[in-house]
Amino acid sequence: AQSVTQLDSHVSVSEGTPVLLRCNYSSSYSPSLFWYVQHPNKGLQLLLKYTSAATLVKGINGFEAEFKKSETSFHLTKPSAHMSDAAEYFCVVSGWQGGKLIFGQGTELSVKP
């Protein structure tokens, strides 16, 4: 069975400093992995996805993530946080034959001025 664990429920950074949101996955097959972001009162927006091509994936708003099979990780990073990055971030794995998505618990990112 597939599962996703986000290692931090809350991360707080200062504006202009790097962001690291950690995600580990468990899967019995080659997974597709996603990061979604949710701003208050908004839908879940796709940041980036990994689908067995390049292991370093670049997404919107300067975010990127690296798929590391040996560590079963898919951590999300950004070199310099912006106030507008404050939101909830979800690491997600796709079901075996596509279709349903399996979500991690979410990480709330706070950005201090």
Partner 1 sequence: EPEVTQTPSHQVTQMGQEVILRCVPISNHLYFYWYRQILGQKVEFLVSFYNNEISEKSEIFDDQFSVERPDGSNFTLKIRSTKLEDSAMYFCASSGNRDSGETQYFGPGTRLLVL
Among 77, 86, 66, CA closest to 25: 66
Task: CB nearer to partner 1: give 44 or 86.
Answer: 44
Show Cβ contacts of residue 32 under 8 Å, excluding neighbours closer than 6 positions: 49, 50, 51, 52, 93, 94, 98
- N-term to C-term CA, the chain: 41
Q: Which of residues 84-113 bind partner 1 (CB under 8 A)?
A: 90, 94-106
Q: Which of residues 47-86 bind partner 1 (CB under 8 A)?
A: 49, 51-52
Among 42, 56, 70, 113, binds partner 1 (CB under 8 A): 42
Which stretches of the chain bind partner 1, using CB under 8 A?
Answer: 31-32, 34, 36, 41-46, 49, 51-52, 90, 94-106
